[in-house]
Amino acid sequence: MFVCFLLLCSSHSVFAESGYDLWLRYHRIDNTTLYNNYREANGEVIFPGSSDRLNAAKKELRLGLKGLLNIDLNEVQHFSKRGVMAGTPESLPLIAKTSYIDEIKKLDDEGYIIRSVTINGKQVTLIAGKKDIGVLYGVFHYLRLMQTQQSLDNLAIKEEPKLQIRVLDHWDNLNGTIERGYAGYTLWDWQRLPGYIDPRYIDYARANASIGINGTVLNNVNANARSLRTEYLIKAAALADALRPYGIKVYLTARFSAPKEIGGLKTADPLDPSVWQWWKDKVKEIYQYIPDFGGFLVKANSEGQPGPQDYKRTHADGANMMAEALEPYGGIVMWRAFVYENKRNVDRALNGFDEFKPLDGQFNKNVFIQPKNGPIDFQPREALHPLFGSMPKTPLMLEFQITQEYLGFASHLVYLGTLFEETLQSDTYAKGKGTTVSKVLQEYKKTNGISGIAGVPNIGTDINWTGHLFGQANWHAFGRLAWNPDIPVAELAEEWIRMTFSNDANVIKTVKHIMLSSHEAAVDYMTPLGLNHIMNFATHYGPGPWYKDPNWDAWDYHKADETGLGVDRTMKGSNAVSQYKSPIREKLNDIKTCPEQLLLWFHHVPWNYKMSSGRIMWDELVDHYYRGVD
């Protein structure tokens, strides 16, 4: 199939390049009719204003028009022919004379409109936002229309993000390595910061802004307390300055024991007044260097990380301590729900729900609880995390993994847009049928005032950023779904193909088929029918269902014995099904109604159990493996 793709490409306009430009390849439009139409539509540009964000938007528009249409952007004061007008009511008072001024004023701060309007008898494309950042997002959208060869006539686009906080959680270490990173070393050159700003930081910011990402957690969730020392705050401030014109705030992972490790205190107890004061003083210092600092990401009491439970305190005690320090500055806490200890004979799938559900409503208003998409650990396919729909009084921030820790690293083509969509469109039944995860996440903006989503990126110093070229598509899909979780991923796959490879129908059809079938193929050859966590223990790559260890045993995740295979999480087993709303729990509890793609997740199934295909379970399992390999 991939050979066919290469042959197709050889007959169309393709470019030998490194992959560095990601989906922002502004190659000249190869359709003559569209090229001429686009040139006419962009004949003149009115784009006043000189803020950092408006300048970033102008720079991008200039770059795009030069590459796509060989047009040099020269700003004019008045139109003599067709053109583009971009800005806010403040930067471009002419906008106030249009019939769209009320709509623009009602936009949220990141929203924008792109409209075909008539001004003084001239046909004009209006790109407008209430704030400068909206104009930047609008420019990227406008260029995307041309990259994907869509009509610029009769435009009536209005966009606002469905989720407010859209962040990448970098698992980058201060020594330059990346935990579960497969594309080189960290982008952040801590040794040369703050004096040297790598131009790659700007291109990173451009790429993120183009898909709507507005936040970056700079350091690993398995945190090093040194990242909160003054010398590193100064370095982080330099990064914040570089990313700010593109609407990106920086966040830091906070090590819970930092008051002891770098603060000289004898305790990190969240109810100790001296500890509270230490965090308040540290937060005050951070905002002196980074006035728009986003807040803290925290991994506590999981995999040996320190946390409030070390002092017999709750997660709410720990999160609220940090939240109170951040609240005066508008900062947030993202407190991860990935909590477990390496203990045998315990169903790890239960931990997150059991620890956080009882605390619903006890967290400060600027605290997110951050579950992964499933209750185990970014498996090729997991059951939905039961916390979604179960904490209405506490905003949840879903965390996806973009980097392919359990999916072949950067060596396997696995398009994760389908996994993201599968999760986001899963029904929680929190308020009856149709209460999807997407709706649950969006509802928090109305009920709690904040909403968000996070992704662990696959970005490194490799020239093409993600190691595997198609890994770029997963970064792209996450960002676009973070902006709007309900975009069909088939549309996003096609969009990425058009912007990356070609607008030719045969190329699109071929590559789209590869992408949209790749995740299911990976599940089939790695963890079919709901099997999970049977990979090599250390690397999470390659099979390892036989792994045994005093603290961790693969058998706990597959329970293979002479009678059958799979983990009994029914009411007669660990009772994980009880964490889900009705009618989901009843459906999962019954082996006859449990979806076969999750059968071994929830049931210990006899080897000769008759499947819907008519085959016994063992033969069905083998068939899935071979189908995936094929």
Query: Which tokens go with 565?
Result: 């295979």
pLDDT confidence of residue 14? 55
Domain 165-506 has CATH 1.20.120.1200: no
- Checking if the pLDDT of 51 tops 60, the result is yes
- Checking if the pLDDT of 334 tops 80, the result is yes
- Checking if the pLDDT of 121 tops 90, the result is no
Domain 527-629 has CATH 3.40.1080.20: no
At a CB cut-off of 8 Å and minimum separation 6, what does 349 contact?
Answer: 375, 376, 383, 569, 574, 576
Peptide bond into 194 cis (omega under 30): yes
What is the per-residue pLDDT across 563-579, written as a single tens digit (0 to 9) for each?
A: 999 999 999 999 999 99
pLDDT confidence of residue 13? 55
User: How many degrees, rounded to 5, is the angle at CA 487 between CA 485 and CA 493?
Assistant: 115
For CATH 3.90.1330.10, list the domain ranges present in the chain.
Answer: 527-629
> Mean pLDDT throughout 40-65?
97
CB contact at 8 A, 189 and 213: no
The pLDDT-based confidence of 345 (bands split at 50, 70, 90) is confident
The pLDDT-based confidence of 241 (bands split at 50, 70, 90) is very high
Catalytic site residues? 303, 377, 405
pLDDT confidence of residue 15? 59
pLDDT confidence of residue 120? 84
Average pLDDT, the chain: 96
Query: Which tokens go with 525?
Result: 């050859």
- Checking if the pLDDT of 25 tops 80, the result is yes
CA dihedral 258, 261, 266, 268 (to 10 degrees): 20
Q: How much is the pTM?
A: 0.97
Alpha helices in 504-612 (DSSP H): 505-526, 555-558, 584-589, 599-602
Among the listed ranges 14-18, 228-232, 302-306, 475-479, which one has the minimum average pLDDT value? 14-18
The pLDDT-based confidence of 11 (bands split at 50, 70, 90) is very low
pLDDT confidence of residue 552? 81
CB contact at 8 A, 255 and 301: no
pLDDT confidence of residue 10? 45
> Mean pLDDT throughout 417-438?
98
What is the per-residue pLDDT across 511-545, written as a single tens digit (0 to 9) for each?
A: 999 999 999 999 999 999 999 999 998 899 999 99
| Strands 122-129 vs 112-119: parallel, antiparallel or unpaired | antiparallel
CB contact at 8 A, 594 and 602: yes
Question: Residue 630 has what DSSP assignment?
Answer: -
Burial of residue 429 (CB within 10 Å: 0-12, 13-18, 19+) is: middle
At a CB cut-off of 8 Å and minimum separation 6, what does 517 contact?
Answer: none
For CATH 3.30.379.10, list the domain ranges present in the chain.
Answer: 31-159
Domain 31-159 has CATH 3.10.20.740: no
Helix axis angle, 199-211 relative to 230-243, nearest 10°? 60
